[in-house]
Amino acid sequence: MAKKTYEKPTIIKVESSHSKAGVPMPKQKIRKKIGGVAIDEMVERFGSPLFIFDEKAIREKYRSAYEAFSSRYPNVQFGWSYKTNYLKAVCAVFHQEGAIAEVVSEFEYEKARELGIEGKDIIYNGPYKPYDSLVTAAKEGAKIHIDTFDEINDLEKVADELGFEIPVAIRLNMDTGIYPQWSRFGFNIESGQAMDAVKRIKAGGKLRLTGLHAHIGTFMLDANAYKVETTKMVRLMNEVEEKVGFTIEYIDVGGGFASKNHLRGIYQPPEVVVPTIDDYAEAITSALYENIRGNSYPKLYLETGRHLIDEAGYLVTSVVASKTLPDSRRSYIVDAGVNLLYTYFWYKFNIELTREVSGISEPAMINGPLCMNIDVIDESILLPRLRRGDKLVISPVGAYNVTQWMQFIRYRPRVLMVTEEGNVELIREREELSDIEKREILPDKLKLK
């Protein structure tokens, strides 16, 4: 048996709200499996830390979102938001389910093409689309969503160069009752700028407006904002068709539906504050029915990101050391830090253990491995006394972490996917020195050997 290291006993101040007679200690949260596979076994095989995605959960979420919209409206298409999570395996699951790609840079565009998505199945958004990428996108028939007047000019030049009329959509921004308003993207409806852009496109005679797009925010807790958005978009569509003579084939309402994650500063649990997918679907489709004139129903596009992937992703991390802080809190140092958890800045994560641990819970803090004071995953959590090697399962972390994670101080870890069949697939290898130094150049005169 390993010799136990001696540690001076400490008196733990358990906060009164938790220690009063009759107030039970919070129940330990335990998760032993993901997608039916034991977490401990995956860590044994692939090391720690580990991101793990649950394929079945992704597909189920997608299907229920698709069902919520397609059961209400005849013509629905989802576009997977690459920036939310562009691991190939994750994108491929969504594409297999029928989603097209939604990209916001030439890099993401190339990534979608590389995966086998045709140009016509790519929505190309974003405030900066380099000229060459517009040429490629126009040639390949992508859905280009214009963000600025400068981009109208660029695309007219592309149309001249290619010798054909380019179908385009414009991005809109508007007041939906949500503040701050995301007014920096696209053309504003209320000021008349959107209508000006439409007229400008018409006057140029080189582009054909076929769609209207907006993306009003992210983690939207008010489904009604989508009702306002869709209403304003359909009314603009009616006006454009009547006054300018373009035929609008589709309305793209963007993404932004919340996941069941716990925003910092919001005290009610996500089950209470997050609208259901049916709430969002009802808001959007009812606005379509109330405002569409005649019976030509434009195709409805959605660019849902976060809502579809967040809860299918977990980060498993292990305790590497622990100590007692001067305020008597226990500090656990774990092998994954905020460099891997970009969404830490917004969320208080759900943190679970993979085994039952006996003993009372005590106030603790979970610190990452970075030599940076900000590397705190949870600064106040009640945990039973953990041992070195104990694992913590952090969730939901499927959205925006494996795209916004940083290579900083440590290598980024492996990513696994547990398949529907219960197999474990390695979908991203852990980083090593050569990955990071590949693009560095050391001038000859500075070479040390």
Ligand X SMILES: *Cc1c(COP(=O)(O)O)cnc(C)c1O
Which residue stretch of 232-240, 297-305, 383-391, 411-419 sits at the interface with ligand X (rule: CB under 6 A)? 297-305
Q: Mind spelling out the 3-state secondary structure of the chain?
A: CCCCCCCCCCCCCCCHHHHCCCCCCCCCCECCEECCEEHHHHHHHHCCCEEEEEHHHHHHHHHHHHHHHHCCCCCEEEEEEHHHCCCHHHHHHHHHHCCEEEECCHHHHHHHHHCCCCHHHEEECCCCCCHHHHHHHHHCCCEEEECCHHHHHHHHHHHHHHCCCEEEEEEEECCCCCCCCCCCCCEECCCCHHHHHHHHHHHHCCEEEEEEEECCCCCECCCHHHHHHHHHHHHHHHHHHHHHCCCCCEEECCCCECCCCCECCCCCCHHHHCCCHHHHHHHHHHHHHHHCCCCCCCEEEECCCHHHHHHHEEEEEEEEEEEECCCCCEEEEECCCCCCCHHHHCECCEEEECCCCCCCEEEEEEECCCCCCCCEEEEEEEEECCCCCCEEEEECCCCCHHHHCCCECECCCEEEEECCCCCEEEEECCCCHHHHHCCCCCCHHHCCC
Instruction: Rank residues 306 and 414 by Cβ distance to ligand X and give the closer one.
Output: 306
Q: Which of residues 74-113 bind ligand X (CB under 6 A)?
A: 81, 83-84, 102, 104
Count of residues engaged in binding ligand X, rule: CB under 6 A: 17
Stretch that binds ligand X, among 159-167, 255-263, 355-363, 365-373 (CB under 6 A): 255-263
Which C-beta is closer to ligand X: that of 216 or that of 415? Answer: 216
218 scored as a contact of ligand X (CB under 6 A): yes
In the complex, least distance from residue 5 CB atom to ligand X, rounded to whole angstroms: 46
Segment near ligand X (CB under 6 A), from 68-76, 233-241, 304-312, 413-421?
A: 304-312
- Specify whether the backbone of 265 is left (phi greater than 0), alpha (psi in -120 to 50) or beta: left
CB 180 within 8 A of CB 204: no
Residues 419-438, one symbol each (x = binds ligand X by CB under 6 A, - = not), give --------------------
- Exposed, middle or buried by CB within 10 Å (0-12, 13-18, 19+), for 404? middle
Contact 28, 357 (CB under 8 A): yes
Contact between 125 and ligand X by CB under 6 A: the answer reads yes
Q: In the complex with ligand X, which residue's Cβ is closer, 79 or 369?
A: 79
In the complex, minimum distance from the CB of residue 117 to ligand X, in angstroms, rounded to a whole number: 16
Instruction: Based on the shown chain and the rule CB under 6 A, indicate whether residue 176 belongs to the binding site for ligand X.
Output: no
Of 61, 129, 306, 412, the one binding ligand X by CB under 6 A: 306
Instruction: Please tell me whether the peptide bond between 270 and the residue prior to it is cis, using omega within 30 degrees of 0.
Output: no
Span of 46-54, 158-166, 302-310, 383-391 interacting with ligand X by CB under 6 A = 302-310
Contact residue for ligand X among 133, 231, 261, 304 (CB under 6 A): 304
Could you tell me the smallest distance in angstroms from the CB atom of residue 74 to ligand X?
A: 23
Compute the least distance from the CB of residue 178 to ligand X, in Å. Answer: 13
Instruction: Pick from 215, 262, 330, 414 the residue near ligand X by CB under 6 A.
Output: 215
363 contributes a contact to ligand X by CB under 6 A: no
| Min CB(437)–ligand X separation in Å | 31
Q: In the bound complex, what is the minimum distance in angstroms from residue 242's beta carbon to ligand X?
A: 27
Nearer to ligand X, 215 or 330 (CB): 215
Least distance between ligand X and beta carbon 99 (Å): 12
Name the residue nearer to ligand X (CB basis): 261 or 350.
261
Interacting residue with ligand X among 35, 256, 363, 396 (CB under 6 A): 256
- Least separation, in Å, of the C-beta of 147 and ligand X? 10
Q: How far is the CB of 234 from ligand X (least distance, A)?
A: 19
Contacts with ligand X, 6-25, as mask; x by CB under 6 A? --------------------
- For residue 51 the two structure tokens come to 């991101």
Cβ distance to ligand X smaller for residue 306 or 330: 306
Q: How many CB atoms lie within 10 A of CB 365?
A: 18
User: Does 254 participate in binding ligand X (rule CB under 6 A)?
Assistant: yes
Interaction site with ligand X (CB under 6 A):
81, 83-84, 102, 104, 125, 215, 218, 254-257, 303-307
